[in-house]
Structure 1
Amino acid sequence: MFLGALGTALLIAFHTRIPDATGLGLLLDNAAPWLGLVVPLLLLVALASRSRTSLAVLLVPALTWVLIFGPAIVPLSWTAPAAAAHTLTVSSQNIKAGTGAAAQSARELAANGSDIVALQELDAGSVQRVTDALGAAYPHHFVVGTVGVWSKYPLEGSRSLDLGLGWKRALSTRVATGQGEVSLYVIHAASARPNDHVDRDVMLEQLAAVVRADPHKNVMAVGDFNATSTDRAFAEMSTVLEEPNQDDGLFGFTWPRAPFAMMRLDHVLVRGLDVTSNTNVEAGLSDHLAVRATVNLPGD
């Protein structure tokens, strides 16, 4: 019992230190929040043994989980600043290539009040369908390969980012809101599988370097990062941008959409912006939930 409790606490606290042999590190990192489920299992064992000592030992992994993950699951609604007179709402979704539902996703995200719609896994023909679906309300757009952004506001300095891969799955642009510029990044990181996540790791590392060098005060990055916030490869991103909590608390898992989400692979990250809302929404036919965040514009 003692060893089980101690081992669980150590895994929760130090999962990123476990060597990534045969993909073990990747699996542990992304499953880290679920390690807390070991605690109730150990509780059943402790109750069966009727040992007060065992019950006391359970406090170690339980408190470790609360200390590590507790701050991330506090509802944003408890501390979020009030919405200013001018706000910017950004939505992002991996629409899943082959569903034919890119335009549906775009329309539903626009209907939710998005000023900017960012999509990943765009396939042949979907760019024009999305542009037609959003119409004159979103007159500005920029697309790089399978990643695109549609905006009510002008986009300036738009450029593609290859992030070390030799092909482009990311972009950067500046959103000219009239209340100040917001530097926006949209990314679809390479896939991550046990023993096959080097390309993803390189993309996240280089994106972090690009964002760190960005001179703009107000920065936002959205997309499918193919990594959870507990993934060791995501750590560098966390040093340059912050992820706001969810409006209603908990982890905001986005994938898979059915039967229930188990990981948050899709993120909204910010710097220099006050986030008034951050939540997941259903859109289209994708296996990913969309993410949506509202920020106060810098001019307010």
Structure 2
Amino acid sequence: MAQQAYMTETADGGSGPERRGSRFRRLLDGWRGDRRIWRRGLVVAALAVLLALGMGLHAQIPNRVGNLGSLTETFLPWFGLVGVPVLLLLALLRRSATALIAVLLPAIVWLNLFGGLLTDRTGSGGDLTVATHNVNAENPDPSGTAREVAASGADVVALEELTAGAVPVYERALEKTYKYHSVQGTVGLWSKYPLSGVSPVNIELGWTRAMRATVTAPGGQIAVYVAHLPSVRVKLEAGFTAHQRDRSADALGSAIHKEPLERVVLLGDLNGTMNDRSLTAVTSQMRSTQGAAGSGFGFSWPASFPLARIDQILVKGVEPVTSWTLPETSSDHLPLAARVDLGDS
């Protein structure tokens, strides 16, 4: 049976397949003849303006009530990724020219904030490859997780959320690849190059969830910090509870500020994004490898459907060359990796 085509009247009075352009022209003609296109959709237009203001002035949203500012900044990219398409669809459904123009405002603000992350900034070369992974205390396959992270080819690997029972499993799985390692509390560092000056870092928790070590790589010495900042929670009665996380971030930032070596790498789960003002003590003095030399947002949590990059690789005194997200393991976080250039030793 011959395929039936949509037919329309042609210029010579006959009929033929309808062209897509003719449908679009009819749509435009309908809008031109609609005198209400500027009066409809005012609510959608107002929502678009509010979205633009919320993203553009996110730093002004107060944290006094439920840490609303930090909560907004944690998921800030999604305000545009979801909000702009939804508002655009509503504007089209309302056949509102006013709303369509208004939707341009949040789109422009979002592109100004995150447009640079849409480009590929990865490079080549570098002296040292580092990786970090919150392995999850309830990981059902720690040995397999360790092997998958080691397969990245990283010279230095940081693991967070280690349990006393799982540490020997990780040690056995990584010992052939990494000659040097140290575990401090619930965080650990594995390295192909010698470690020295290993010590826990006090982030005011009462137990150890951060450490510092000097890695003597072929390109020179570099201070490597590993940290797992306290978790945050979103509760209806209390909002975004992050007070302990914020105090620990301040303590970690103070320790890094006092670091005598010029070249520093921070690996870990900071339970916050680079946009979160509460991590300023750390982020103000370090660069994100993903922001400087990655491709895309590099979201790391939750692993099944990543919504935010709360795991971080931050550096100062070295040049990020490339940054990427590693394949999913048995953890609820994705592992991250980056390659950096140590420069002149």
1:157 maps onto 2:200 in alignment: no
Decide whether the 8 Å contact of 2:84 with 2:106 is kept in 1. Answer: yes
Pairing 1:121-200 to 2, within 5 Å after superposition: 121-194=161-234, 195=238, 196-200=241-245
1:120 maps onto 2:195 in alignment: no
Decide whether the 8 Å contact of 1:75 with 1:245 is kept in 2. Answer: no
1:253 maps onto 2:299 in alignment: yes
Decide whether the 8 Å contact of 2:180 with 2:191 is kept in 1. Answer: yes
1:83 maps onto 2:125 in alignment: yes
Report the Cα distance in structure 2 between the residues aligned to 1:278 and 1:24, rounded to whole angstroms. Answer: 30
Decide whether the 8 Å contact of 1:218 with 1:298 is kept in 2. Answer: no
Worse overlay, 218-227 or 206-215: 206-215
Report the Cα distance in structure 2 between the residues aligned to 1:187 and 1:278, rounded to whole angstroms. Answer: 19
Report the Cα distance in structure 2 between the residues aligned to 1:283 and 1:68, rounded to whole angstroms. Answer: 28
Aligned length: 294
Decide whether the 8 Å contact of 2:294 with 2:322 is kept in 1. Answer: no
Once the two structures are TM-superposed, the CA of residue 283 in structure 1 deviates from its matched residue by: 4.9
Q: TM-score, normalised by structure 2?
A: 0.80
SS of residue matched to 1:89: strand
SS of residue matched to 1:175: strand
1:229 maps onto 2:229 in alignment: no
Equivalence for 1:70: 115
Once the two structures are TM-superposed, the CA of residue 100 in structure 1 deviates from its matched residue by: 4.0
Decide whether the 8 Å contact of 1:154 with 1:176 is kept in 2. Answer: yes
Equivalence for 1:24: 68
Decide whether the 8 Å contact of 1:106 with 1:130 is kept in 2. Answer: yes
Once the two structures are TM-superposed, the CA of residue 99 in structure 1 deviates from its matched residue by: 1.8
Decide whether the 8 Å contact of 2:300 with 2:333 is kept in 1. Answer: yes
Equivalence for 1:33: 77
Equivalence for 2:16: none
2:132 to 83, 86, 92: 92
The letter of the residue matching 1:235 is T
The letter of the residue matching 1:168 is T
Report the Cα distance in structure 1 between the residues aligned to 2:176 and 2:96, rounded to whole angstroms. Answer: 68
1:45 maps onto 2:85 in alignment: no
Once the two structures are TM-superposed, the CA of residue 19 in structure 1 deviates from its matched residue by: 2.4
SS of residue matched to 1:114: coil
Decide whether the 8 Å contact of 1:106 with 1:117 is kept in 2. Answer: no
**Higher relative CO (CA 8 A, sep ≥ 6), structure 1 or 2?**
1
Decide whether the 8 Å contact of 1:74 with 1:245 is kept in 2. Answer: no
Report the Cα distance in structure 2 between the residues aligned to 1:283 and 1:52, rounded to whole angstroms. Answer: 44
The letter of the residue matching 1:139 is K
Change (3 A) 1:274 1:40: same
2:258 to 213, 220, 225: 213
Once the two structures are TM-superposed, the CA of residue 248 in structure 1 deviates from its matched residue by: 6.2
Report the Cα distance in structure 1 between the residues aligned to 2:187 and 2:294, rounded to whole angstroms. Answer: 29
Report the Cα distance in structure 1 between the residues aligned to 2:325 and 2:136, rounded to whole angstroms. Answer: 16
Once the two structures are TM-superposed, the CA of residue 163 in structure 1 deviates from its matched residue by: 1.2
CA RMSD of aligned residues (A): 1.9
Report the Cα distance in structure 2 between the residues aligned to 1:255 and 1:176, rounded to whole angstroms. Answer: 31
SS of residue matched to 2:287: coil
Equivalence for 2:151: 111
Change (3 A) 1:52 1:283: closer
**What are the superposed Cα offsets for residues 79-115 of structure 1, whole Å, 9 maximum, x if unpaired?**
x3x304xx21111111111224333222211122111
SS of residue matched to 1:262: coil
Report the Cα distance in structure 1 between the residues aligned to 2:112 and 2:190, rounded to whole angstroms. Answer: 39
Once the two structures are TM-superposed, the CA of residue 285 in structure 1 deviates from its matched residue by: 0.6
Equivalence for 1:285: 330
1:241 maps onto 2:286 in alignment: yes
Once the two structures are TM-superposed, the CA of residue 139 in structure 1 deviates from its matched residue by: 1.7
Once the two structures are TM-superposed, the CA of residue 25 in structure 1 deviates from its matched residue by: 3.0
Once the two structures are TM-superposed, the CA of residue 159 in structure 1 deviates from its matched residue by: 0.8
Once the two structures are TM-superposed, the CA of residue 151 in structure 1 deviates from its matched residue by: 0.6
Change (3 A) 1:203 1:169: same
Once the two structures are TM-superposed, the CA of residue 27 in structure 1 deviates from its matched residue by: 2.6
Report the Cα distance in structure 2 between the residues aligned to 1:236 and 1:71, rounded to whole angstroms. Answer: 24
Unaligned segments of structure 1, at least 5 residues = none
